[in-house]
Amino acid sequence: MPTSCGGEGKKLKILLKEGYVRRVPTRTYYEQLYARPLQPYILTPAQQAAFTQVQRHWAEHPTRPILLHGVTASGKTFVYLELMRRFLQEGKQVLYLLPEIALTKQTLDRLRATFGEAMELYHSGLSEAERIRTWRAVREDAVDVVVGTRSALFLPFHRLGLIIVDEEHDPSFGQEGRAPLYQARDAAVYYAHLRKIPIVLGSATPSLETYRNALQSKYAYVSLPEKALPAEPPTASPGRYAHRVSGKAQHRRFFFCLIRTFTTNLSPRRTSYPFS
């Protein structure tokens, strides 16, 4: 047990005396707890280079926001995992913000498979009892990672060391409707500034505001230009059909054109996406 645990009861003192449990320094406890991922992963050379570049930026400017600009399927998540592990080993908490509730559960499952159970969800889709439970767990330092949407930014963290804003370009981080209105990405950047902790903004298509801040050196810029697995770039094939044919016949001809194209493209390694 870490030495920071307070409120030793009579039973705990007996366990300590009999040697069933032992005290370790808090830093040592977290270093051992997060020394190795439960589900091992290996960074690609591009991911390792991005991770090293982030570390270098932090060494020079510890609190400057960082834009991690990685193409789709480049493996930004693995870079996040390695960055998180560094802070978790130091006994710090991590806040992982996502724009949509639908993304939170799968992200939490991935993190738990990598780091264990000391993490929780927080978003408006949970019941009031579930949100209160997470709020108390954060306040009592019983949680190391929180995965959530905008409202998770206001949890009472004591050991917060890193904020990750994934898909930072997503308009869902903004708000419409009742006041007070706020942009969660920008609020997170300012919150990190107030607490003097690092923040990483990740996206395959950065927002214009974030990209401009990176160009002006207000934010550090880290690029991840390669896909984690080699793949051929997609090809766009505009469908053509006679405009002289109108109504249902026109739609029917276009439909059969799509079916024929998709059928010829069927393969375990190829995917078709229709756009209109």
**261: confidence class by pLDDT, cuts 50, 70, 90:** confident
**25: confidence class by pLDDT, cuts 50, 70, 90:** low
Q: What pLDDT score does 122 carry?
A: 96
Task: Region of 108 please: left (phi>0), alpha (psi -120 to 50) or beta.
Answer: alpha
Same domain flag for 64 and 17 = no
Question: Token digits for 189?
Answer: 């950047």
Same domain flag for 20 and 115 = no
Q: How high is the mean pLDDT of the chain? A: 85
pLDDT tens-digit map of 134-168? 999 999 989 999 999 999 999 999 999 999 999 99
CB atoms within 10 A of CB 161: 19
In the numeric block, the tokens 């706020």 are attached to 182
Higher pLDDT: 31 or 64? It is 64
Same domain flag for 163 and 243 = no
CA distance 123 to 150: 8
CA distance 7 to 131: 25
243 is in which domain, residue-wise?
238-264
Cα atoms in the Cβ-side hemisphere of radius 13 Å centred on 168? 28
Residue of 40, 70, 90 lying closest to 198 (CA atoms)? 90
Average pLDDT on 22-43 reads: 72
In which order are the strands placed within the sheet that holds 199-203?
A: 119-122, 145-148, 93-97, 160-166, 199-203, 66-70, 220-224
Same domain flag for 51 and 181 = yes
Residue 5, pLDDT > 60, answer no
pLDDT tens-digit map of 167-197? 999 999 998 777 778 999 999 999 999 999 9
- Domain assignment present for residue 119? The answer is yes
pLDDT tens-digit map of 108-141? 999 999 998 899 999 999 999 999 999 999 999 8
